[in-house]
Chain A
Amino acid sequence: MIALIDVVGSNVGSLEHALFRLGYHKDRDYYFARSGESLTGASHVILVGVGSAHQAMRALNNHGLTEAITKLTVPVLGICVGMQIMYEFSWETKGLQGAESLEHSPVSCLAIFPGSVKKLAVPNHLSLPHSGWNQLEQNHHFQGNIRPFKQFDSTYVYFVHSYGAPVGGNEVIFYVDYGVKIPALVCCRNFYGTQFHPEKSAQIGSQMLQEFLKLC
C-alpha cells in the first residue's frame, strides 16, 4: 500500500487523480497516513505539500510524523513543498505573499538533504513564482543510481513555486534553468523529491510517478 501524507492543506486531489489514471485506487492501493504509526507497512510514501514549509512542518509535528518519516526505509517521494521540507531548513516561514520582511529565522525541517531552502534569486526581468513548463537538465555530478530517471533528461515538467533548494548538492539528479539553476529532482538513499508537479506534468509526469512506484 502507498501511504499519502496529506496533513498539510487538503489539496491532494490532483495527485489522487493521477494515481487513479495509473490504476491505483484509494483503500485498495493507497491510503492517507495521519500518524507516525500509520506509516508502518507502507510500500511507498508520498509527501504532498501545499502552503509554506512552516505550515507543513507544523502539521507534521502535530501529527507525530516528523521522526517517523526520517526513519523510513521504503521509497519516499516529496512533491514541491514536500520536497523542500526534506532539506535541513526553509526560509519559507509564513504564508504566501508579502511575508518576507517578517522572517526572522528559518524553519527546521526533516534534514534528509543538507542546506536551506530559500526564496529564488531570479534576475529582475523574470517573474516569481516560477510557473510553467521547464526543461530538466541532468546533473553530471550526481553519484547515485540515475537509471530509473535517466529517460527524463531534457523533458519538460510543470513547476509552480517561489522557493528553491540549494544548488550544488550531491543529491541533485536534474536541474532546470530559470535565470538561476533550480534543483528539480533530488535523491538521497530512499528519499526522492520533485520541485515540479509530476501529477500535473502530462504523460511524462505519469511515467515518473510510475517509475517511483516501481522502486523497492
Chain B
Amino acid sequence: MLAKRIIPCLDVRDGVVVKGIGFKQHRVIGDILTLAEYYSAAGADELVFYDITASAENRTVSTQWVEKVAAKLSIPFCVAGGIRDVKSAQNILRSGADKVSINTPALHNPDLIGKIADLFGRQCVVVGVDSMRDDHGQYWVWQATGSEKTASQTRRKTLQWISELESLGAGEIVLNCMNSDGQKTGYDIAQLTAARAISRLPLIASGGAGSYEDFIQLFSQVNVDGALAASVFHQKTCQIAQLKEMLIAKNIAIRPVDH
C-alpha cells in the first residue's frame, strides 16, 4: 500500500531555516543543506522548504540553494514561497525541486495552478491553504501569512476553496490549520476530516503536531496522505525513526527508515 508520508517542513528565511510561532516571531534553527541531509538520513519521506518571507515581501526564492539541495537529496522535495507565476515555478522545478507549492498567488490568480500543471504535470503543483477557524466555527482562508504585518483573512471559505482545487489542476493540498499551528496540541482533526470528505487530491495535514501521539491520532482518525510538521522535529521532541516504528506498530502504512 501507498505509505503515509512524514514530511518535515523547513521554513526558510534569508537562506537559513527558521521557525515561527503562529507565523509570528521567527528564530534561526540552522543551515538548509545540513538540515536537509539530516532529515533525509533520519527517514523523512519528503521535505518541504517554505520561504516564508517570499510571498509577503514580494521576493522570489533564490534558486541556488534549491540546486544544492537537489544535488544532495535522494528523496523528493517541494519548494514553497513567492511562486507567483509560471516563470518562477519553472525556475524552481528546473533547479531540481520535485514540486512547487503555491499559496497566496493561487488565491489571486487561480489559473496559475493549471498553467503550471499543463507544463509540468499536476503532480508538481501543491496548493498550500492557510486556514483559520472563526468564533462561529467557520473556516476561512488566510493570505500572505509569512509575516504578521501582511497576514489577512480572505473572503474565501476554506472548504469551498479546497473543493475547487482539483478542477483547477492542483495535484496535492497542504492544509495548514492556523488555530493549532505552533500550539503543539495536535492536528485539527475536525477540519482535516471535513477537507478529506470533499477532495480526492492527496491531502497533507499541517499545524499542531506536538507529540508522537498526535501523529498516531491523525493517521488513525483521518485518511490524510501525509503529516507535515516543523518544530516537533527541529526541537527533537519526536525522532522520525521512533515515530515511524510507533506508526508501523499501529498498522499504519509507513516506509521504514533505511538502514
| Residues of chain A at the chain B interface (Cβ within 8 Å) | 10-11, 13-14, 17-18, 20-21, 95-97, 124-127, 129-135, 156, 158, 160, 177-178, 199-206
CB of A96 within 8 A of CB of B258, answer: no
Binary CB contact string for chain B from 1 to 19 against chain A (1 if under 8 A, 0 otherwise): 1110100000000000000
Given A97-B117, A200-B75, A202-B258, residue A132 in contact with residue B3 (CB < 8 A): yes
CB of B96 within 8 A of CB of A97, answer: no
Instruction: Give Cα A17–Cα B70 distance, bound, in whole angstroms.
Output: 7
| Residues of chain B at the chain A interface (Cβ within 8 Å) | 1-3, 5, 40, 45, 70-72, 74-76, 93-94, 96, 98, 114, 117-118, 120-123, 169, 171-172, 200-202, 225-226, 253, 255-256, 258
CB of B74 within 8 A of CB of A201, answer: yes
CB of A125 within 8 A of CB of B200, answer: yes
Given A14-B96, A127-B202, A132-B225, residue A97 in contact with residue B169 (CB < 8 A): yes
23 A-B residue pairings within 8 Å (CB atoms)? A13-B70, A14-B98, A17-B70, A17-B96, A96-B118, A96-B121, A96-B122, A124-B200, A125-B200, A127-B200, A127-B202, A129-B171, A130-B2, A133-B5, A133-B45, A134-B1, A158-B75, A160-B121, A200-B74, A200-B76, A201-B75, A202-B40, A203-B74
From A96, A97, A125, A133, contact of B255 by CB (8 A): A133
B226 contact set on A, CB distance < 8 A: 132
Given A131-B171, A132-B3, residue A95 in contact with residue B74 (CB < 8 A): no
A/B pair count, beta carbons within 8 Å = 90
Instruction: Give Cα A126–Cα B70 distance, bound, in whole angstroms.
Output: 29
CB of A14 within 8 A of CB of B202, answer: no
A20 contact set on B, CB distance < 8 A: 71
Given A13-B96, A97-B117, A131-B171, residue A206 in contact with residue B74 (CB < 8 A): yes
Instruction: Give Cα A156–Cα B254 distance, bound, in whole angstroms.
Output: 9
Instruction: Give Cα A132–Cα B99 distance, bound, in whole angstroms.
Output: 12
Smallest CB-CB A-B distances: 10 pairs: A156-B255, A203-B258, A133-B3, A133-B255, A127-B200, A96-B121, A160-B123, A129-B123, A17-B71, A13-B96
Instruction: Give Cα A200–Cα B172 distance, bound, in whole angstroms.
Output: 18
CB of A202 within 8 A of CB of B122, answer: no
A131 contact set on B, CB distance < 8 A: 123, 171-172, 202
CB of A95 within 8 A of CB of B118, answer: yes
Instruction: Give Cα A17–Cα B3 distance, bound, in whole angstroms.
Output: 25
B45 contact set on A, CB distance < 8 A: 132-133
A201 contact set on B, CB distance < 8 A: 74-75
B201 contact set on A, CB distance < 8 A: 127
Report the minimal beta-carbon distance from A95 to chain B, rounded to whole angstroms.
7
Instruction: Give Cα A201–Cα B2 distance, bound, in whole angstroms.
Output: 14
B93 contact set on A, CB distance < 8 A: 11
Instruction: Give Cα A201–Cα B40 distance, bound, in whole angstroms.
Output: 11
